[in-house]
Amino acid sequence: MAESGEWVMNAAGRMVPTVIDGKRYRPFGGAFTSKPDGRKHAPRLRTHTREESKLCASLEDAIRKSGLSDGMTISFHHHFRNGDKVLNMVLDACEGLGLKDLRIFPSAMFPVHEPVVEHIKKGTVNRIEGSMNGPIGAYVSTGEKLAEPAVLRSHGGRARAIEDGDVKIDLAFIGAPCCDDYGNANGLYGPSACGPLGFSVHDSRFADCVVMITDNLVSYPCTPMTIEQGNVDYIVKVDSIGDPEGIVSGTMKITKSPARLLIANHIVEFIRQSGRFENGFSFQAGAGGISLAVTKFLGDLMRKTGVKASWAMGGVTKFLVDLLEEGLVGKLLDGQAFDLEAIRSLRENVNDVEISPGHYANIHSKGCAVNKLDFAFLGATEIDLDFNVNVNTHSDGILLHGIGGHQDVAAGSGITFIAAPLMRGRLPIIVDRVTTVSAPGETVDVIVTERGIAINPRRKDLIERFKDSALPIRAIEELYEEAIRLAGAVPKKPKLGDDVVALIEFRDGSLLDVVRKVLPTG
């Protein structure tokens, strides 16, 4: 239970333990210092004859056949986002079978997964590796301690952890909108179509056992084959695996806030003046009001100037699909769908191309797509004077979001913008020291607020290029001081205990920060 081992200061200036519950951790040593020299985890060899059937009578039947036992690790994908029914369904079945102390390894969780809290309290689940949005994050931050600290990883970091063998999956559950009786599956068709299914590709390849859960069993062969038969053990047909409407769980409207629109305009103008805005450029957009506005304004700029992007990534939204279909963006590399238009596009557009998170962002590969990005615009809950970015905890210290692709994109992209208003309500977003480091400052290039733009001093090239720009370039210290002035005082820090409730892994597997228990105030 208790962490132990020496605590050291890592390259992001954070004190981190070197041993936690007997597991040795490498302190974060810099974003580009990992030089892996081992070999990948090796999945099991299996065989299968034409006489055997993979179809199971029920989820319980599949779990029994899989040999799942107490203490094992089960994995999930999050393509259904807040419309997912699989994770809750599986944990209910595990509870019914009397299984205990499972470690869950979802690629992300959402408010719909609040029942996990009950499964923790009952002992079905005792460890979490994966992001904890909403109620589960709040429980982990303030409730009874898990058997081991939760581990948060970026999308690329999760793929890496599977390939490197850091997390060995005993049983992967894959919700499949379209699946045949041999396990070939995709997310394109059916009542629960979710678009890409890439987040389960690594699970399917590396897990000891793989169970497909589908509400749409189609005739062999199901194509395209995002998941391949050769990796699948069992298949279960259920009534419904997800609600596609729940996929649209984040903000899908362009911001109307004048301050946020100004931020979006600043980013697009910065891109225009950057020297990299030319035919063939690339960018990563995301969801959230500011990011959607940047995508739209960037489209306006492309239309005006005739400059076209060769490709873009995102969570894909209608705004990216519009640019693709208008011919302003040549291709989309598509890791997840954020709205229904994105699902339609993946089905219809040959240049909307599904990729896995490893292809997207695994640092322990011979090259991932984030390395080819020219521009990326990301968000933050806090930014500090060292350009460190927090996306996991709020200023009250409570875990509320996953890392997503943030760390990966920040490290890979040519210019990484962090878009954030200087204040949220009365809270400054730029602080002296972030509560949690989610992405190290060395990977963050430009902070864009409505009251000014701060360039990371490491980016001497950008500072030089923008020294005569009409854009409001300012030192981050100035922005910080202005934020404090507007807030009226330096904001109070949350009251944190000694207990480490979660670890923030860097994408290379090193330890970037720890998240501590939040103590009751007052």
Q: Please give the residue ranges that form the binding site for a copy of itself (CB under 8 A).
A: 32, 34-50, 54, 163-164, 182-183, 210, 219-221, 223-225, 228-233, 280, 282, 310-311, 330-331, 333, 351, 353, 355, 358-359, 362-369, 371-372, 412, 414, 508
Q: Is the CB of 323 or the CB of 476 nearer to a copy of itself?
A: 323
Task: Name, in order, each residue with C-beta under 8 angstroms of 363's C-beta and a sequence gap of 6 or more.
Answer: 34, 156, 157, 160, 408, 411, 507, 508
For a copy of itself, the closer of residues 36 and 491 by Cβ is 36
302: amino acid identity, one letter:
M
3-state secondary structure 352-411: EEECCHHHHHCCCCCCCHHHHCCEEEECCCEEECCCCEECCECCCCCECCCCCCHHHHHH
Least separation in angstroms between CB 390 and a copy of itself = 24
- Residue whose CB is less far from a copy of itself, 249 or 413: 413
Q: How far is the CB of 136 from a copy of itself (least distance, A)?
A: 31
CA distance 431 to 429: 6
Minimum gap (Å) between residue 228 Cβ and a copy of itself: 6
Nearest approach in angstroms of CB 255 to a copy of itself is 30
Token readout for 501 is 């409730």
Given the complex with a copy of itself, which of 92 and 228 has the nearer CB atom?
A: 228
Q: What are phi and psi of 418, to 5 degrees?
A: -110, 120
For residue 112, the number of C-alpha atoms closer than 13 Å in the C-beta half-sphere is 22
Query: Residue 447: enclosing H or E segment and its boundaries?
Result: strand 446-449
Q: Which is nearer to a copy of itself, 36 or 123 (CB)?
A: 36
Cβ-based nearer residue to a copy of itself, 49 or 521? 49
Could you tell me the smallest distance in angstroms from the CB atom of residue 229 to a copy of itself?
5
Q: Which residues pair with 390 in a beta bridge?
A: 382
Least distance in angstroms from the C-beta of 349 to a copy of itself: 11
- Of 63 and 431, nearer to a copy of itself (C-beta) is 63
Q: Which residue in the block uniquely carries the two structure tokens 């005993």?
A: 170
Min separation Cβ 396 and a copy of itself, Å: 36
Q: Return the number of the residue (207 or 292) whose C-beta is nearest a copy of itself.
A: 207
Cβ 414 to a copy of itself, closest distance in Å? 7
Rounded distance between C-alpha atoms, residue 106 and residue 454, angstroms: 35
Q: Is the dihedral of CA 41, 207, 103, 139 positive or negative?
A: positive
CB atoms within 10 A of CB 515: 26
Question: Based on the number of CB atoms within 10 Å of its own CB, is 114 exposed (0-12), middle (13-18) or buried (19 or more)?
Answer: middle
CA distance 416 to 444: 6
